């Protein structure tokens, strides 16, 4: 006889030792399958957690991930600060009203369009724009006088204003398709 066996002859039948000591054996068929399934899930969960937590690579990975996320947060904060700084510079530049035509020509296009719209507008709209952009009459008066006297500056200003109102048909854009 073998020193270790999983089978035993009892009352003329072989009995499985493994099954005989299994607690799920005495349950009904549906309960037994559910109990077996739950025990497998518990066993699998315990083994997976222990393998994961005891792995030396996990700690190193978590440190790398933490360092990466910390650096990413710092970079996002720097980006937000830079965006705010650029916005403030742009807002300051757009709020500044030029004193003469040479300053007008040095402004960015968006600011030139705003000033041109102001110069082309009638007195009522000019007052609204002064209030909206916080321009005083003392700062706007020299450029208004130059606009009225200098025909070349007047034409350039109107061209800038009219150019801003130009619309294009998006269907007529050049396509990037390759002729086939």
- Digit-coded pLDDT (tens) for 107-118: 888 888 889 999
Same domain? 104 vs 160: yes
Q: What is the number of structural domains in the chain?
A: 2
C-alpha span between 9 and 66 (Å, rounded): 61
Boundaries of domain holding 119: 96-164
pLDDT of res. 53: 63
Closest CA to 142 of 120, 121, 119: 119
| Residue 72 covered by a domain | no
| Residue 110 covered by a domain | yes
| pTM passes above 0.85 | no
Same domain? 106 vs 158: yes
| Residue 113 covered by a domain | yes
- Size of the chain, expressed as the number of residues it contains: 180
């Amino acid at each position: 006889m073998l020193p270790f066996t999983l089978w035993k002859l009892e009352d003329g039948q072989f009995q499985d030792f493994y099954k005989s000591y299994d607690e799920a054996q005495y349950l009904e068929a549906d309960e037994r399958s559910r109990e077996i399934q739950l025990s497998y899930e518990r066993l699998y969960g315990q083994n997976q957690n222990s393998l994961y937590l005891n792995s030396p690579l996990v700690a190193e990975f978590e440190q790398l991930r933490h360092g990466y996320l910390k650096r990413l947060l710092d970079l996002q904060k720097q980006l937000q600060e830079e965006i705010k700084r650029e916005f403030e510079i742009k807002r300051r530049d757009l709020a500044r009203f030029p004193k003469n035509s040479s300053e007008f020509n040095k402004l960015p296009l968006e600011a030139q369009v705003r000033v041109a719209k102001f110069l082309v507008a009638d007195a009522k709209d000019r007052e609204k724009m002064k209030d909206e952009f916080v321009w005083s009459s003392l700062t706007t008066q020299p450029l208004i006088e130059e606009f009225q006297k200098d025909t070349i500056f007047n034409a350039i200003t109107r061209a800038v204003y009219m150019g801003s109102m130009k619309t294009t048909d998006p269907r007529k854009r050049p396509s990037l398709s390759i002729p086939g």
